[in-house]
């Protein structure tokens, strides 16, 4: 998906959380660094969230089954969205989850890229009007 979007206005934040097994912060840092090659785009900024705060915040927003943390999710936000007192609702999102997850939101890189292109175009349009 990132290969199809050339805009430097796209900000990419990758958050690594401990999900499959317990990892202390140091181990999670090392694993996040090792796995960061999966998203090596220069626009990507990688974060480690050792307590899984972000996954817990997005679980109810995305209606994750069994109250598990949100992980392997791809969130898109319009340019004017800010995280203030609570996690903002994404403008669009997809997942790589399994059972109980909305099948219509199953990750499709082409569809997600199209959605992001529309968000970028809308942001460009707002900037041009100013």
pTM summary value: 0.88
- Tell me if 106 sits within 8 A of 95, measured CB to CB: yes
CA distance 50 to 5: 30
For the segment 80-91, what is each residue's pLDDT rounded down to a tens digit? Answer: 999 899 999 999
pLDDT value of position 130: 62
**Beta strands, E only, the chain:** 12-16, 44-48, 73-76, 92-95
Give pLDDT < 50 ranges for the chain. Answer: none
Four-residue CA torsion sign, 33, 38, 49, 4: positive
For the segment 108-130, what is each residue's pLDDT rounded down to a tens digit? Answer: 999 999 999 999 999 988 777 76
């Amino acid at each position: 998906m990132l290969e199809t979007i050339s805009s430097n206005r796209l900000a990419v934040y990758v958050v690594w959380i401990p999900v499959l097994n317990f990892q202390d912060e140091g181990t999670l840092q090392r694993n996040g660094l090792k796995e960061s090659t999966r998203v090596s785009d220069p626009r990507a900024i990688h974060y480690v969230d050792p307590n899984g705060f972000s996954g817990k915040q997005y679980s109810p927003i995305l209606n994750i089954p069994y109250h598990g943390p949100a992980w392997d999710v791809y969130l898109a936000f319009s340019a004017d969205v800010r995280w203030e007192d609570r996690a903002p609702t994404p403008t669009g999102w997809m997942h790589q989850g399994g059972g109980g997850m909305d099948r219509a939101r199953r990750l499709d890189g082409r569809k997600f890229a199209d959605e992001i292109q529309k968000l970028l175009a809308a942001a460009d349009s707002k900037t041009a009007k100013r």
